[in-house]
């Protein structure tokens, strides 16, 4: 078996994926035409940007193009289909309610469509998906409380946690202490984007003030050796996305010895690998695994460890997690017994 095939077949979880960032350029163009959203560039040039704010401008346009429940169902099904093809068995999917509310789309329309897309993907591919509505940190804590009210008012079993995303550098986590405290007291899981374009302090504050045990990205942790040690002791999980770093962070070369994800793995941090906004960064989940394998010279056994660390970090009940852990582990050992040939 080729290494590419091993990476694709490796059972994986996807814990850091944004629904709206998972829309292909052609579906984006279709939906923009359908819903009369003007696009600034030809389709082939839409998905190119050099920093986080520029990326978020296009991401907001994708959001504006998804209007009806049928649109939500379509983009959810297509996103999960690509996950399944990349070998993902379980997905925790972020979505951005504020960006649709801004265009008059109700939370129930979004949820209805997304749940329908999830049902269809599960039926066709067996892929299991749970949801993480995320608050844009740019909107402030008052809007954050309203966001949480909305999520709690239409609480669904498939909505398992909340996230915090958008432009990090000017919007640190501290104002969200109360919102996160309330979310946790309501039994929601919590995660936050930190240390992507913002400093190590944002990683520390997300852990200490917001109470998260999972950090999305987290790369600037490498700037603070004491924080690295603290995160190792506490078993903090970092959901890293290699291709995203090339456009939104200061680490633009995956082959460089100083790349943050490489340093995080070498430091022994609990790193899991994900795809963030795959078509928008021209990637897929299996390609993200292949990138770390090739650039950081990781063995197939090391990829097994990363895949199972992802499962361990998932917000699943213990019974399912343990059952999948033994099944997946045995399945991966079977793959490892075959001769793995360079691509």
Residues taking part in catalysis: 196
Q: Is 60 in the site for ligand ADE (CB under 6 A)?
A: no
Helices (runs of H) and strands (runs of E) counted in the chain: 16, 9
Q: Is 100 in the site for ligand ADE (CB under 6 A)?
A: no
Positions 10 through 39 that interact with ligand ADE (CB under 6 A): 18, 21
Residue closer to ligand ADE, measured from CB, 73 or 243: 243
Q: Is 245 in the site for ligand ADE (CB under 6 A)?
A: no
Residue closer to ligand ADE, measured from CB, 67 or 274: 274
Site map 111..140 versus ligand ADE, x via CB under 6 A: ------------------------------
Three-point CA angle 127, 132, 137, nearest 5°? 145
Supply the minimum distance, in Å, between the C-beta of residue 330 and Zn ion: 32
How far CA 95 is from CA of 79, 164, 205, 295, in Å, comes to: 12, 11, 23, 30
Q: Is 92 in the site for ligand ADE (CB under 6 A)?
A: no
Site map 204..243 versus ligand ADE, x via CB under 6 A: ----------------------------------------
The residue assigned the tokens 């749940």 is 115
Structure token digits, residue 240: 């890293």
Instruction: Give the sheet arrangement for strand 270-273, strand by strand.
Output: 192-194, 214-217, 237-240, 270-273
Structure token digits, residue 71: 């649109």
Supply the minimum distance, in Å, between the C-beta of residue 278 and ligand ADE: 11
* Number of chain residues interacting with Zn ion (CB under 5 A): 1
Region of 34-42, 167-175, 199-207, 276-284 interacting with Zn ion (CB under 5 A): 276-284
Which option in Zn ion, ligand ADE, none does residue 21 bind, with CB closer than 5 to 8 A by kind?
ligand ADE
Q: Pick the closest to residue 230 from 204, 254, 211 (CA basis).
A: 204
| Interface pick for Zn ion out of 276, 278, 289, 310 (rule CB under 5 A) | 276
| Interface pick for ligand ADE out of 74, 98, 100, 193 (rule CB under 6 A) | 193
Which option in Zn ion, ligand ADE, none does residue 284 bind, with CB closer than 5 to 8 A by kind?
none
DSSP string, 267-327: TT-EEEE--BSGGGGT--HHHHHHHHHHHTT--HHHHHHHHHHHHHHS---HHHHHHHHHH
Structure token digits, residue 167: 């432009």
| DSSP conformation class of 46 | H
What burial class does residue 39 get, using C-beta atoms within 10 Å of its C-beta: 0-12 exposed, 13-18 middle, 19+ buried? middle
Which option in ligand ADE, Zn ion, none does residue 166 bind, with CB closer than 5 to 8 A by kind?
ligand ADE
Region of 140-148, 184-192, 221-229, 275-283 interacting with Zn ion (CB under 5 A): 275-283
| DSSP conformation class of 102 | T
Contact residues toward Zn ion (CB under 5 A) are 276
């Amino acid at each position: 078996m080729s290494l590419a095939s091993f990476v694709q077949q490796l059972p994986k979880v996807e814990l850091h994926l944004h629904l709206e960032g998972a829309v292909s350029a052609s579906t984006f163009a279709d939906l923009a035409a359908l819903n009369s959203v003007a696009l600034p560039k030809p389709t082939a040039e839409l998905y190119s940007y050099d920093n986080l704010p520029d990326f978020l401008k296009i991401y907001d346009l994708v959001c504006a193009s998804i209007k009806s429940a049928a649109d939500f169902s379509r983009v959810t099904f297509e996103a999960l289909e690509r996950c399944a093809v990349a070998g993902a068995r379980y997905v925790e999917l972020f979505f951005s309610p504020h960006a649709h509310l801004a265009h008059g789309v109700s939370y129930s329309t979004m949820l209805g469509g997304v749940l329908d897309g999830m049902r269809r993907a599960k039926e066709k591919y067996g892929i299991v998906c749970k949801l993480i509505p995320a608050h844009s940190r740019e909107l402030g804590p008052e809007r954050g409380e309203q966001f949480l009210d909305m999520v709690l008012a239409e609480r669904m079993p498939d909505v398992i946690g909340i996230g915090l995303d958008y432009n990090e550098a000017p919007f640190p986590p501290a104002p969200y202490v109360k919102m996160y405290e309330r979310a946790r007291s309501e039994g929601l899981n919590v995660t936050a984007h930190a240390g992507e374009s913002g400093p190590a302090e944002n990683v520390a504050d997300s852990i200490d003030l917001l109470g998260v045990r999972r950090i999305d990205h987290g790369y600037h942790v490498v700037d603070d050796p004491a924080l690295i040690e603290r995160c190792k002791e506490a078993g903090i999980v970092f959901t890293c996305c290699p291709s995203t770093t090339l456009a939104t962070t200061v680490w633009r070369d995956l082959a460089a010895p100083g790349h943050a994800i490489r340093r995080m793995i070498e430091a022994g941090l609990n790193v899991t690998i994900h795809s963030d906004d795959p078509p928008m960064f021209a990637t897929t989940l299996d390609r993200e695994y292949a990138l770390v394998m090739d650039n950081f010279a990781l063995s197939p056994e090391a990829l097994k460890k990363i895949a199972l660390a992802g499962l361990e970090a998932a917000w699943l009940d213990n019974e399912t997690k343990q059952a999948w852990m033994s099944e997946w582990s045995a399945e991966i050992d079977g793959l490892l017994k075959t001769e793995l040939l360079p691509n």
